[in-house]
Amino acid sequence: MSVDATQAYDESNIFAKILRGEIPCEKVYEDEHALAFRDINPQAPIHVLVIPKGAYVSWDDFSVHADDAMIAGFVRAVGTVARNLELVAPGYRLLANVGQDAHQEVGHLHVHVFAGQKLGPMLAR
């Protein structure tokens, strides 16, 4: 089911539970602004999710409500994950789905990091 990105944050979403330690994850990075972990249903040989440590439904919600330190810290965390996984030279793709048309599945902002193979065109034709 796709998320309506205009709705209020739901504390029962799976990423909120991961942040609270209620559900385990295969962590690849963590700092005061973000947590990164391997996707349980990978769509590429390397598929990591990076989530901010705050209650943000989507990129839109985050860009409006997060403070400057959180925004900068989160963006830097995404870059740190890519560098730590040695993805810069071969290349990688970032994806953040927002709302129903984009098929956002979890109502917590998350950036997908895809790598480990040639990824093909940006959108399915």
Known catalytic residues are: 110
Phi, psi of 39 (to 5 degrees): -70, 140
Instruction: Please tell me the distance from the alpha carbon of residue 55 to that of residue 58, in angstroms, as a whole number.
Output: 9
Phi, psi of 95 (to 5 degrees): -145, 130
The residues that bridge with 112 in the sheet, in sequence order, are 49, 95
CB 52: neighbour CB atoms within 10 A? 24
Phi, psi of 15 (to 5 degrees): -75, -35
